[in-house]
Amino acid sequence: MTVRAMVVDDSALVRSILVQELSRDSEIEVVGTAPDPYVARDKIVKLKPDVVVLDIEMPRMDGISFLRKLMRYYPLPVVIVSSLTPKGGELALEALEAGAVDVMCKPGAAYSVGDITVELADKIKAAAKVQVAKKETAPPRQAGAVKRLSLTRTTNKVVAIGASTGGTQALQSVLTAMPGNAPGILIVQHMPEHFTRAFADRLNDLCAVEVREAKNEDRVVPGTVLIAPGNYHLLLRRSGAVYYAQVKGGPLVSRHRPSVNVLFKSVARYAGRNAVGVILTGMGGDGAEGLKEMKEHGARTIAQDEASSVVFGMPKVAIELGAADHVMPLRRIPEKIIELSNGST
């Protein structure tokens, strides 16, 4: 099936580049472009694209305001393409909360056009499969309203979590349920740099655990969550009884940097049966092989089920490989992490 896409960006150059590059993919047809949300509104109704690729910073109406209107009156999958800046990261998170399926960085000094358009094409095709519901305007949930689990004793278990498309909301659901003495948690969420810093800061404000972007040699200890910085791999290392994080560059692995497979395989090697592995919603198959390796080294493993996944890609591949001990809806995963950290089956 060919995915019909529309590109909305105030830059004629960006529109031209994206149309040219996306048109190389035989599974994508760019049916139209628009320089601002007002033009886009009319074209969307007329052309009925399957997916909209949307810039955030535009004249007349910003992309997030337009996105909120779309989600309320004409919901359809939207992939945000944002500037690679700290401000762009914060705005991208707002866009995800407003209903965007995924975010990407614009072509720039750090990323070539070729680098991002292959990934963008993948995101567009994944987004086309997402059922987007009408999103009414609602006040943000307060951190105090979250029901948190309790852990009967402090444990030196290591929890490794991987996610991609749909993962920002899934991770928020998991982490806000964690008690302050939760096991040390390492996370790979497929996001560009700057975006992960903003994401970690946002979660830190909502959670009982401390959430931050990982730095090299950060200790992995109870009550701390370390998120892989965008464009860097995150690995677990061990020195004696001490676990710590390693953050490094290197080639793309499973088409990603950071890669869930890189994290999971390091956890398999250095934590073994002292670990819990979790694979959440996301496109592709990154993390499946690593989760299987964790299981083979004695770790307990969890995969999100299809019904609760935004994109049932990564969990599906892991399940098909036999890598998951438990397959369950997102709402049950925090409790299972705590059970397994307490030594239950």
Same domain, 39 and 163: no
Same domain, 104 and 231: no
**Predicted local distance difference test score (pLDDT) of residue 125:** 94
List the catalytic residue out of 36, 50, 82, 190: 190
Scanning 232-275, the segments in alpha helix (DSSP H) are 260-270
List the catalytic residue out of 164, 259, 309, 341: 164
Given a cut of 90, whether residue 222 has pLDDT beyond it is: yes
Same domain, 181 and 321: yes
**Predicted local distance difference test score (pLDDT) of residue 307:** 96
Over residues 144-163, mean pLDDT: 75
Same domain, 188 and 321: yes
Over residues 192-207, mean pLDDT: 92
The band of 137, judged by pLDDT with boundaries at 50, 70 and 90, is very low
Q: Which residues contact 274 (CB under 8 A, 6 or more apart)?
A: 156, 157, 158, 299
∠ at Cα 230 (127, 20), nearest 5°? 50
pLDDT digits (tens, 9 = 90+) for 268-279: 999 999 999 999
Structural domain ending residue among the three candidates 97, 127, 157: 127
In a domain, 132, yes or no: no
Could you give the percent of the chain with pLDDT greater than 70?
Answer: 90
Range scoring the smallest mean pLDDT among 130-139, 140-149, 158-167, 328-337 = 140-149
Q: Is 122 a catalytic residue?
A: no
- Facing residues of 6 across strands? 32, 52
**Predicted local distance difference test score (pLDDT) of residue 299:** 97
The band of 22, judged by pLDDT with boundaries at 50, 70 and 90, is very high
List the catalytic residue out of 82, 286, 308, 341: 286
**Predicted local distance difference test score (pLDDT) of residue 234:** 98
Same domain, 224 and 109: no
Dist. CA 178–CA 72, nearest whole Å: 32
Same domain, 158 and 119: no
Q: Which residues contact 123 (CB under 8 A, 6 or more apart)?
A: 79, 101, 102, 104, 165, 283
Max distance between CA atoms of the chain, in angstroms, equals: 64
Dist. CA 181–CA 153, nearest whole Å: 8
Given a cut of 70, whether residue 51 has pLDDT beyond it is: yes
**How many domains does the chain fold into?**
2
Given a cut of 70, whether residue 345 has pLDDT beyond it is: no
Nearest CA to 272 out of 300, 246, 245 is that of 300
Query: What tokens appear for 71 in the block?
Result: 């989600």
Structural domain ending residue among the three candidates 78, 93, 127: 127
Given a cut of 80, whether residue 153 has pLDDT beyond it is: no
CATH number of the domain bearing residue 321: 3.40.50.180
Same domain, 93 and 217: no
Dist. CA 209–CA 184, nearest whole Å: 9
CA dihedral 230, 231, 235, 239 (to 10 degrees): -90
In a domain, 244, yes or no: yes
Q: Is 286 a catalytic residue?
A: yes
Task: State the pTM of this model.
Answer: 0.90
Tell me which residue range forms the domain holding 121.
3-127
Q: Is 190 a catalytic residue?
A: yes
Q: Is the dihedral of CA 76, 135, 161, 79 positive or negative?
A: positive
Same domain, 49 and 194: no
Same domain, 198 and 309: yes
Same domain, 88 and 221: no
Same domain, 77 and 109: yes
